[in-house]
């Protein structure tokens, strides 16, 4: 049914997990043994028959381009549509305060207005990458159409603390789901609220006009300059999503969400085992994982291509990880091709790609402050 085009923001909120985004976009942050954040946004789109997907980039997008390639692993290598990477298009519109980047979704859309103006589908779906969920976008689209809305925001009702509210956008709405106010990153909010999942559906014409308007008025924020100014006369709606999702706004969040994949079968099932909605990722052709005779593995999520000779507990192993004899890995996340030497011991460690932990090393972080090893480092 879908007549929608997708726009994915690959750099929005990069700063939230500075460790993992030093060398990559937030979109290409590895997650869940074999995925990167953007796999969820891309898979949600293709699973909802959206085959015209634009990925807006800004900086550090080498790993993102490498990951997406031609898009064929998501069925997005297509004659018409498919996935298009929109690198920064430095024009007079881009950037608000002298620097040549953009900090918000609205600025990103302004800088790629040409692509936006070429969209021939009736609807546009905007998605960030730091929200992990497996959602049927057609449900939001149907709702959006039934309400004849200008824009619809996917939200989830959650109990917020001052801490967590600070990283989120909160929408107030009436009994019919029409937005009556918006709070972007409130500093003093506590209590139950509809928080934004950063998945937004818009009428194409409405969004094109809004972005043109933003260019003319030098608006920079979708929430502050478009939603807050217009909710009384334009039709903005919330769509309540009640499935599993994770917002990753810090390294601790990243660690916690990763660990939920292990501790909660419900999270695993709702993310990975939804009928007709598989999560696609780049195919790496790894061999199956080998468990040696003396290996001991409990409560762990493990990708292909690993070689396990030691003990692994409550951990996430990405593709091609080697765990040496006598090594003990607990509560850790080891990214692609990490090598853990013999008799090494790790607890609450996040090792980035291609790191080496030498024989006998003992490393430990804490759950709220996992010890992070940068890409390619040898310890």
Partner 1 sequence: MYKKQKCVAMLLAGGQGSRLYALTEKTAKPAVPFGGKYRIIDFPLSNCINSQIYTVGVLTQYQPLVLNEYIGNGQPWDLDKMQSGVMVLPPYQAKEGADWYKGTANAIYQNLNFINRYDPDNVLILSGDHIYKMDYAKMIDAHEKNGADCTIAVLEVTLEEASRFGIMNTDENLKIIEFEEKPAHPKSTKASMGIYVFKRDVLEKYLVEDENDPDSVNDFGKNIIPKMLADGCTMYAYPFEGYWKDVGTIASLWEANMDLLGENPNFRIKDASWRIFSRNQPLPPHFIAASSQISNSLITEGCVIEGTVENSILFAGVKVEQGAVIRDSVIMSDVTVSKGAVVQYSIIDSDCKIGAGAIVGRSKDECDEVTVVGAGNTIAPGEDVRGGSMLSAK
Binding-site ranges for partner 1 (CB under 8 A):
32-34, 72, 262, 268, 271-273, 278-281, 283, 285, 287-295, 297-305, 307, 312, 316
Q: How many angstroms separate the first and last alpha carbons of the chain?
A: 53
Q: Nearest approach, Cβ of 289 to partner 1 (angstroms)?
A: 5
- Measured at the CA of 247, the angle between CA 243 and CA 251, to 5 degrees, comes to 145
Choose between 94 and 279: whose C-beta lies nearer to partner 1.
279
How far apart CA 358 and CA 378 sit, in angstroms, is: 7
CB of residue 302 vs partner 1: minimum separation in angstroms?
Answer: 6
Closest CB 338 distance from partner 1, rounded Å: 15
Between CA 188 and CA 197, with CA 194 as vertex, the angle to 5 degrees is 105
**Of 12 and 316, which CB lies nearer to partner 1 in the complex structure?**
316
26: exposed, middle or buried (Cβ count in 10 Å: 0-12, 13-18, 19+): buried
Residue closer to partner 1 by CB (options 152, 347) is: 347
User: Closer to partner 1 at the Cβ: 214 or 302?
Assistant: 302
Count of Cβ atoms closer than 10 Å to residue 98 Cβ:
5
Name which of 121 and 304 has its Cβ closer to partner 1. 304
Please tell me whether residue 323 adopts helix, strand or coil conformation: strand
Least separation in angstroms between residue 170's CB and partner 1 is 32
CB of 67 vs partner 1, minimal distance in Å = 15
- The Cβ of residue 286 has, within 10 Å, a number of other Cβ atoms equal to 15
In whole angstroms, the minimum distance from the beta carbon of 125 to partner 1 comes to 21
Residues in the chain: 379
Rounded Cα distance, 227 and 223, in Å? 5
- Give the nearer residue to partner 1 in terms of CB position, either 177 or 246: 246
Is 114 in a helix, a strand, or coil? helix
């Amino acid at each position: 049914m879908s007549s929608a085009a997708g726009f994915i923001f690959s750099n929005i909120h990069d700063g939230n997990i500075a460790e993992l985004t030093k060398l990559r976009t937030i979109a290409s942050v590895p997650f869940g043994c074999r995925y990167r954040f953007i796999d969820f946004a891309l898979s949600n789109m293709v699973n909802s028959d959206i085959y015209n997907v634009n990925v807006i980039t800004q900086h550090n997008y080498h790993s993102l381009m490498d990951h997406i390639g031609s898009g064929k692993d998501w069925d997005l290598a297509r004659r018409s549509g498919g996935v298009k990477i929109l690198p920064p298009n430095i024009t007079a519109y881009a950037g608000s305060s002298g620097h040549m980047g953009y900090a918000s979704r609205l600025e990103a859309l302004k800088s790629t207005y040409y692509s936006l103006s070429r969209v021939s589908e009736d609807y546009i779906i905007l998605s960030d990458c730091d929200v992990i969920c497996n959602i049927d976008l057609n449900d939001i689209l149907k709702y959006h159409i039934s309400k004849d809305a200008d824009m619809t925001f996917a939200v989830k009702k959650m109990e917020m603390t001052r801490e967590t509210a600070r990283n989120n956008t909160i929408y107030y709405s009436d009994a019919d789901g029409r937005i009556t106010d918006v709070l972007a990153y409130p500093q003093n909010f506590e209590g139950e609220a509809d928080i934004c999942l950063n998945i937004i559906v818009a009428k194409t014409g409405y969004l094109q006009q809004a972005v043109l308007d933003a260019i003319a008025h030098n608006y920079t924020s979708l929430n502050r300059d478009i939603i807050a100014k217009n909710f009384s006369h334009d039709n903005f709606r919330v769509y309540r999503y009640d499935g599993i999702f994770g917002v990753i706004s810090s390294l601790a969040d990243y660690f916690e969400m990763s660990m939920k994949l292990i501790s909660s079968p419900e999270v695993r099932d709702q993310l990975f085992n939804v009928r007709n909605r598989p999560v696609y990722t780049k195919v790496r052709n790894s061999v199956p994982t080998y468990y040696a005779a003396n290996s001991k593995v409990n409560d762990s999520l493990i990708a292909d291509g690993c070689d396990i000779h030691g003990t692994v507990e409550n951990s996430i192993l990405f593709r091609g990880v080697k765990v040496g004899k006598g090594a003990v890995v607990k509560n850790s996340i080891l990214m692609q091709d990490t090598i853990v030497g013999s008799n090494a011991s790790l607890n609450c460690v996040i090792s980035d790609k291609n790191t080496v932990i030498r024989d006998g090393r003992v490393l430990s972080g804490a759950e709220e402050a996992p010890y992070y090893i940068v890409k390619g480092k040898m310890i």
